[in-house]
Structure 1
Amino acid sequence: MKYPVNRSTITHFIIVLVLSLTTSCSNDDETSSPIDNIYIDIPDIHFETKLIELGIDSDGTINQQILRSDAEKLNRLDLNLSANSGEIIDFTGIEGFVNITFLSAAGQEIEDIDLSFNTLLDTLILNANQLTHIDISNNSNLILLEIQSNELSAITGLSKSTVLKKVNLSFNNFEEFTIKNESVETLLISHNLLKSIDTKDAINLKNVFIILNQITTVDFSSNSLLETLVISGNKLQSINLENNTNLTHLYSSSNLLTSLDVSNNQELIDLRVDRNPDLTCIKILNGQEIPTVSLSDYQELNTICN
C-alpha cells in the first residue's frame, strides 16, 4: 500500500536539516578560532621585550603576543643574553615553546612557572628568581637542574627525571629534603635551613654539598659511590663513613663532631675537619696517607683513638 507524499513536509524537513548543519559549523568555528592557533599570549612586557631583542618575536612589536611558529622553531631559549630590558615577573607564554631543550632565565623576578608543556627540556636554569615551589613532573628528560638563590621550600616531580645528573638547590629555604632519584650524581643544597636530609634512594650519588645548614645527623650508608662530601658548617655530632670506600674528599669543618673514623676510606686525598671543638683524634689505618689534611691545633691523626 503506498502512502501519499506531502511535498510541503519534505521541504520543511530539508530547511530544518540545512539550518541544523549551518548552526553546527558556526559553533565549531566559534570554539576553534584560527587566531588561537596562530598566537601565544605574552602578557609580561619585559618577557616580550627580551624575545624581540633576541630576534625571536618576528613582528618586533610589543603587543603581548608572539607567533606560535616563532616559539615552536626554537630549541634553545637563553634569556640571560638579553640586557637592559627589565626583569620578567610573569612567565606566561613559556608553555608555547614546546621544542626547547635548554631554558635559562636567571636573575628575573619569576614567582611561578608552568613547565608542563616543555617536555623536551634537558637543561633548566632558573637561578636568582623568587620561586617558592616548582613542579618538574613532566620534565623527564632533564639532565641539569639549577634553581639556586630562590625561595624554594618544596619541589615536585624530582623522581620523574630519570636521566637527571646534577641538581643545584643551594641558597633556598628547604628545612627537610628527600631525594628519590637513582640517576642523580651531584647534589648541591648548601645555604638552606636543612635539619634533615634523606639520600638513601639516590644510590648513584657521587658528590654532595650541604654546607651551612642545621643538620644534626646524616646517613650515607646507601651511597657507596660517594666521592666528595662537603658538609661543613652544620651541627653534626657523629658520622659513619664505613660504607663510603670511594670517598676522596671530606670537608666537615665547623661541626660538633666528637669522633671520626676514616680508616675505611683509603681513597681519601683531602680531609678537612678543623673547628670541631670536641674532636681531638681522627682515626686512620696504619700506613694510611692523606695528601691534604686540615686540622686545628688540638687535633691529630692516629691509629688509636680513645
Structure 2
Amino acid sequence: MKPKLLLLLFFVNFSIYAQYTSIPDVNFENKLIALGIDSGTTDGQVLTSNIDKLTSLDVSNSSITDLTGIQDFVSLKYFHCHYNKLTTLDLSKNTALIYLYCRSNQLTSLDLSKNTALETLDCHTNSFITLDLSKNIALKDLTCSYNSLTTLNVSKNIFLENLTCDNNQLATVDVSENTALKIFVCHNNQLPTLDLSKNTALIQLTCNSNPLTSLDLSNNTALVYLQCIYNTLTTLDLSMNTALQNLSCFSGSLTTLDLSKNIALKSLDCHSNKLTTLDFSKNVALDRLHCYSNQLTSLNLKNGKNSLLTDLNCKSNPSLNCIDVDDVSYSNTNWSMFKDATATYSLSCSTLGTKETTFDKITVFPNPAKEELHIDNSTLEKATVYDTLGKLITTTKFTNGSNNNTINLAGLRSGLYYLYLENEGATIVKIIIIE
C-alpha cells in the first residue's frame, strides 16, 4: 500500500511542476510580475495556466535579452516586445499571432514561417539583411524600416495595404502583386525606378532620396499624398492625380510643374527646384505654398480663394517681379514678408508691361524724406506705405488728373519703408527712406 501511495505522490508532484514555464530572463519575469501575470516572487518561472490563455502581451521597454518562455503563450494574438535588447526571437509556437511589434531590438533574423495568421508586422530598427514573408499570406501591414535589407519579396503578400520599407539598401521593390496597396513608403533606398502601374488603390507615396529620374503615376488616380523630395526628377506629370491634396517635391531638378488638374491640392512644397512658372489659378483649396529658391519669373496666385492661403513663402526668386493675386491690399497686408522686396502683388501682371511707360514717368521726391513725399504722375490711382515688417502705415487715394500728389509721412520713425503705387490693377514698388 505504501509504495503505491508514494508513486501517486510522485506523479502529483511531477504534474504540479509541469504546470510551470521557465522564464530565465529576470527582466522578462519582472515585467510579467508588474503586469500581474506572475506571482510577486522572482523565481525563474511562471504558472503555465496563467499564460496559455493570454491573447495580448506587452513587454516593451523592459531591457529583456531573452524571451525564453514565450513559446507557452500559445493563444497569443497581439505581442509587443519593442525597445528591448533581443538578438533572437522564436515565435514558432505562437501560431495564433496576428500582430507583432518587435521594433528597436538587435535582431538579425526572424523566422515567421509558422505565423501564417500574421496580419501586422513592425520590425523597424533591427539588423535584418533578409526577411522571408513567403508564408505570411494574410499580411496587411508591414513596417521594416531602418534595417539593412538589400532585397524584399512581397509577391506572396497579396493583401498588403501598407508597405513601409524606408531607410534600407533596396535597389528594387516589386509591388506588382500588391494591388490592395494603399500606403507605400520607400524613401532613403537605392531605387532607380518604381513601377506602380498595378497599384491603383494607392493613397500615399513617399519615395524621397532615391536616384529616381522619372515617376509614372498615371494609374494612381486615388493618390492623395505624394512626397518625392531629394530625387533627380526633371518632370512630374500629375494630370491624372485629381485627388491629390498634399505634394512635396522640393530639392529636385524640376523645370516645370503643371497643377491645373489638381483642384483638390491643399499643400505644396516645391522649393529649391528650377521652376520658372507656377500657376495656381485652378487650385482653389490651396492653403500652404512654399516655392522659394526657384527661378520663377511668373507666379499666379489668383484663384478667388487667397484668404485660405495662410502659409506662403515665395522668397529667393530674384527674377520674379510681379505676383498675380485676388486682392493687392490683402496680399500686401498679409503676405508682404513672404516675397522678395523687388516683387509686387498685382491684379494682373500680364498688363504690367503696358503700364511700364506710365511708371517710368513717376517721380518720387524727396527721397530721403521727412514729413511729406511728393509723387509726380497724373494717372496714379493709389499709394500705400508699409514698414519692413509688412505693417500697413498709410493708404492715399489720388484724384485722376492730378500731377502733384502728396503723401503725409509725419510722425514716422526714421528708417526704410516700401511704397506701393497702383494704377489699373498694375503695381510697382519703390523703397523710400524716412530721415
Common topology (TM > 0.5)? yes
Asked if 1 retains the 8 angstrom alpha-carbon contact of 2:108 and 2:129, the reply is: yes
Structure 2 unmatched runs, 5+? 1-6, 280-435
Question: Match for 2:139 among 164, 179, 183?
Answer: 164
Secondary structure at the residue paired with 1:241?
Answer: coil
Say yes or no: does 1:255 pair with 2:231.
Answer: yes
1:96 is matched with which residue? 72
1:69 is matched with which residue? 49
Asked if 1 retains the 8 angstrom alpha-carbon contact of 2:238 and 2:262, the reply is: no
Q: Distance in 2 between matches of 1:288 and 1:50?
A: 52
Say yes or no: does 1:198 pair with 2:179.
Answer: no
* Shift, 1:141, TM fit: 2.2
Matches within 5 A, 1:1-306: 34=15, 37-58=18-39, 60-80=40-60, 87-156=63-132, 158-180=133-155, 181-277=157-253, 279-284=254-259, 287-289=261-263, 290-296=265-271, 298-299=274-275, 300=277
* Shift, 1:189, TM fit: 1.2
Q: Once the two structures are aligned, what percentage of the paired residues are identical?
A: 35
* Shift, 1:249, TM fit: 1.3
Secondary structure at the residue paired with 1:178?
Answer: coil
Structure 1 unmatched runs, 5+? 1-25
Give the partner amino acid of 1:107: Y
Q: Distance in 2 between matches of 1:195 and 1:89?
A: 33
Q: Distance in 2 between matches of 1:292 and 1:142?
A: 36
For the aligned residue pairs, the C-alpha RMSD in angstroms reads: 2.3
Segments of 4+ moved more than 6 angstroms: none
Q: Distance in 2 between matches of 1:44 and 1:234?
A: 42
Q: Distance in 1 between matches of 2:93 and 2:76?
A: 10
More contact order relative to length (CA 8 Å, sep ≥ 6): 1
Deviations 1:6-61 (A, max 9, x none): xxxxxxxxxxxxxxxxxxxx9xx99xx64674222222222122112222123x33
Q: How many equivalent residue pairs?
A: 265
Q: Distance in 1 between matches of 2:220 and 2:141?
A: 20
TM-score, normalised with respect to structure 2: 0.57
Deviations 1:238-274 (A, max 9, x none): 1111211111111101111122211122221222211
Structure 1 residues 35 and 200, CA gap change in structure 2 (3 angstroms): farther
* Larger of the two Rg values belongs to structure: 2
Q: Distance in 2 between matches of 1:188 and 1:287?
A: 29
